[in-house]
């Protein structure tokens, strides 16, 4: 396994670990926030009257029952903060993942990324970070049965078409634009579907490159033949002129 591949795998593992950490923190805070909101509901009829309920909420939030309203407000802000931190972590690691891989990318490239522990937001982060200056297709499938597709560098393939092909092969569907698309299907079938579509795209792009190279070669051969013909014509003209000059000399 080469160095670039090791770096790529290392960054992918770090990305998943970071996302998992922030997701657990966010889930824990949301659970606490749900409990405290139930206790501090505006309507008295909705508020638990059992002192045990308020005590349990206070225990979970590590505060006194009378301080629960303030604690709820603080938790709301903390959840928003963690959500923003998670988005920044996703974007940061996604950019690093592509940076590590960019040196080994062919152009046009077709890349498939399987985020077995990820979700749609993770897949979208990776596709959004795909290098715009390089023509290619990025297909990212997540463990929750979702996928995201990006088409970069002006490649004449629509992301929405690629996403639909992958999703429908896995029993789902997708939609989006020419540059970005999302969708979903059977989580167990999506990785294989993505690889199958990617293989077809690679073959198609390789065939185009081969046809383009052949066409360029034919053009070069034609130019060479034309130059050769011109040379023969010029030589013939030169011989004719020489013979004419000799005839003039004889007459003289």
Percent of the chain residues topping a pLDDT of 90? 36
Higher pLDDT, 22 or 183: 183
Q: Which range in 10-14, 105-109, 110-114, 219-223 is most confidently predicted, on average pLDDT? A: 110-114
Q: Decide yes or no: CATH 3.40.50.300 for domain 105-252.
A: no
More confident residue, 109 or 225: 109
- Write the pLDDT tens digit of every residue in 162-179: 999 999 999 999 999 999
217-250, pLDDT tens digit by residue? 666 555 555 555 555 455 455 555 445 454 444 3
Long-range contacts of 125-133 (CB under 8 A, 24+ apart): 125/87, 125/90, 125/91, 125/94, 126/94, 126/97, 126/98, 127/180, 128/91, 128/94, 128/180, 129/91, 129/94, 129/95, 129/97, 129/98, 130/98, 131/98, 131/102, 131/105
For the segment 208-220, what is each residue's pLDDT rounded down to a tens digit?
888 888 787 666 5
**If you average pLDDT over residues 54-78, what whole number do you get?**
75
CA 18, 19, 20, 21 torsion-angle sign: positive
Average pLDDT over residues 17-32: 66
Three-state SS at 78:
helix
What is the average per-residue pLDDT within 82-101?
85
């Amino acid at each position: 396994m080469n160095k670039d591949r090791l770096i790529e795998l290392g960054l992918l593992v770090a990305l998943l670990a970071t996302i998992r950490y922030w997701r657990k923190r966010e889930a824990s805070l949301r659970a606490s926030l749900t409990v405290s909101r139930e206790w501090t509901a505006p309507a008295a009829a909705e508020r638990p009257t059992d002192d045990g309920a308020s005590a349990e909420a206070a225990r979970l939030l590590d505060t006194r029952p009378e301080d629960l309203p303030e604690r709820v407000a603080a938790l709301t802000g903390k959840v928003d903060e963690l959500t923003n931190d998670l988005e920044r972590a996703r974007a940061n690691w996604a950019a690093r993942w592509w940076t590590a891989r960019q040196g080994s990318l062919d152009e046009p490239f077709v890349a498939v990324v399987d985020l077995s522990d990820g979700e749609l937001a993770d897949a979208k982060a990776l596709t959004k970070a795909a290098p715009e200056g390089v023509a290619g297709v990025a297909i990212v499938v997540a463990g929750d049965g979702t996928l995201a597709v990006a088409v970069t560098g002006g490649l004449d393939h629509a992301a929405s078409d690629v996403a639909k092909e992958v999703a429908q092969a896995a029993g789902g569907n997708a939609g989006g634009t020419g540059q970005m698309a999302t969708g979903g299907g059977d989580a167990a079938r999506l990785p294989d579907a993505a690889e199958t579509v990617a293989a077809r795209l690679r073959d198609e792009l390789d065939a185009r490159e081969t046809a383009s190279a052949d066409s360029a070669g034919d053009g070069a051969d034609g130019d060479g033949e034309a130059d050769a013909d011109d040379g023969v014509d010029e030589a013939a003209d030169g011989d004719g002129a020489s013979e004419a000059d000799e005839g003039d000399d004889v007459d003289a």
